[in-house]
Amino acid sequence: MAITSANQLELLQTAEAVAREKMIDPDLVIQAMEDSLARAAKSRYGSEMDIRVSIDRKTGRATFTRVRTVVADDELENYQAQLTVDQAKQYKSDPQIGDEIVDEVPPVDLGRIAAQSAKQVILQRVREAERDRQFEEFKDRKGTIINGVVKREEYGNIIVDVGRGEAILRRNEKIGRESYRPNDRIRAYVKDVRREARGPQIFLSRTDPQFMAELFKMEVPEIYDGIIEIKAVARDPGSRAKIAVISHDNSIDPVGACVGMRGSRVQAVVGELQGEKIDIIPWNPDQATFLVNALQPAEVSKVVVDEDAGKIEVVVPDEQLSLAIGRRGQNVRLASQLTGLDIDILTEAEESARRQAEFAERTKLFVDALDLDEFFAQLLVSEGFTNLEEVAYVDVDELLAIEGVDEDTAHELQARARDHIEAENNRAIAAAKELGVEQSLFDFEGLTPQMIEALAKDDVKTLEDFATCADWELAGGWTTVEGKRVKDEGILEKFGMSLEDAQNLIMHARVQLGWVDPSELEPAEEETEEADEE
């Protein structure tokens, strides 16, 4: 195929047709043609030559040029694409290093192989341009709802035509057992848009909690306008969901606005979600109040929040237990997702029994350790003392506030508590040494003698042993075995060791041993300090 006047206009017409079909800039197609023709010309004239092709955007005439760059004498490497200043003087009166000498060369006749190669280059560049266009078009639609038409199903995944591209709704992102046929209309949430080798991948979801939030935004004008804000969403797709809302206008009821007249607004969302039951809950900045709302329709007697551990205990009347937990634990699971807290639900009878057991255990501790009678030990427990350290190191005034305790009695109590703690520490140290614990572990700050004894019993006897531990080995955690969650008891869990504390201790041990650069700890510590200040 020769680039002659007969087919010059054909180039422009082909470029226009391809650009129109792929909805891209015609100039990109022409640039791809120029590159492909230049590659074909190099195969004819020599790959070392710098051959460039320019296609006139009006006439379609292709101009082939050879470009040579002026370089210093000692830098001349490629005689086909470079020339010295002296050599360039025959083409230019005053050549300078870096100048380009451009000569027009005869057009090439494209053989069958060269023409095929040129076609491949053009197709590749067109595909790249098409992918770039699709990515730029859809990247800003992430986090929104999109309408499309089902094209086909592949291994349970739905391929959706979304206008200028295709999207995929994976099998696990569909609600329940819903099925689609080609040409069915579908509405879904754009979960992610990624640029991949085979083109931009648009991932859709109908199970994502934000899909429901976006549906409410479409159905409730007050949410769209920002008067009502969706604070949290939790879903069990196709079955039940909870959504927490708050109104920034005191005159507007957030729950009523989301429900709509005779339930019209919420029913529109329920219909799209295949009949998913939706609990609309008023959000509250107070965790306990919010949780009581989240556990609706169950009634709650008492809430105990442990902010440090991120856990919360909820006490319900005996007859409300099944309602609070829900079918297969659904109600409490959704409430946990909504509040971001681990929730333990107890009946009033269970809570009472547990508290009685704790009271008896602490009373026995004080009776045995401090040599007190049962009544006096119960008095200490009733005043909120839970362990010997609190008695030993609390301000004396707190002990004097207990009815019947004078100054001598208070000092005697503290002396007995300290003696007992010291005796226990000495016993634990002796036991740990008996087990073969090295001095490096005793010298490490942050571990009590009782902790060291517990570590020794688990064959952790040196600082090196401790530094190789995982945080969950110390603080405990959960693993999934055959689909069931199994509790892993931590070596130091009984001492109230949290995962964060375990991580910090292990990292400081590694620093002390020289395994970790201390500067690696600084960013994390600074972030913690900033969070504490806030």
Closest to 203 measured CA to CA, from 177, 237, 166, 178: 166
For 155-227, where are the E strands, in sequence order? 157-161, 166-169, 185-196, 199-205
Tokens representing 8 are: 């010059």
Q: What pLDDT is attached to residue 64?
A: 78
Q: 197 forms bridges with which residues in the sheet? A: none
pLDDT in tens, the chain (534 residues): 344 433 556 656 666 766 676 666 677 777 777 777 777 777 667 667 777 777 777 766 777 777 777 777 677 777 677 777 777 777 777 777 877 777 777 776 655 555 565 566 667 777 777 777 777 777 778 888 888 898 888 888 888 888 777 888 888 888 877 788 888 898 898 888 887 766 668 889 998 989 999 999 999 999 989 899 999 999 888 888 899 999 998 889 999 999 988 889 999 989 888 888 888 989 988 888 888 888 887 888 878 776 655 567 788 888 888 888 877 788 888 888 888 877 878 788 887 888 888 889 888 988 888 888 888 888 888 888 888 888 888 888 888 888 878 888 888 888 998 898 899 999 999 999 999 999 999 999 989 999 999 999 999 999 999 999 988 889 887 676 665 667 788 898 888 888 888 899 999 999 988 888 887 665 444 444 444 444
- CA nearest 127: which of 40, 57, 23, 201? 23
pLDDT at 141: 82
Cα gap 257→234, rounded to integer Å: 19
Tell me the C-alpha distance between 307 and 155, whole Å. Answer: 45
Bridge partner residues of 63 (DSSP): 54
Indicate the pTM of the whole model: 0.56
The pLDDT value recorded for residue 436 is 93
The pLDDT, as a whole number, for residue 355 is 83
**Burial label, 511 (beta-carbon count in 10 A; 0-12, 13-18, 19+):** middle
pLDDT given at position 18:
66
Residue type at 356 in one-letter notation: Q
Cα radius of gyration (the chain): 38
The closest of 36, 30, 38 to 14, measured between CA atoms, is 30
| Number of Cβ within a 10 Å radius of residue 380 | 23
| Tokens linked to 174 | 């569909």
Output the pLDDT for position 4.
41
Instruction: Report the half-sphere exposure of 115 (CA within 13 A, side-chain side).
Output: 7
Query: What are the backbone dihedrals phi and psi of residue 138, each rounded to the nearest 5 degrees, phi first?
Result: -100, -15
Strands (E), 56-198: 62-70, 82-83, 100-104, 145-154, 157-161, 166-169, 185-196
| Residue 431, pLDDT score | 92
Alpha carbon distance 193, 176 (integer Å) = 24
The DSSP symbol for 490 reads P
Predicted confidence at residue 339, as pLDDT, reads 81
Calpha distance 376→389 (Å, rounded): 17
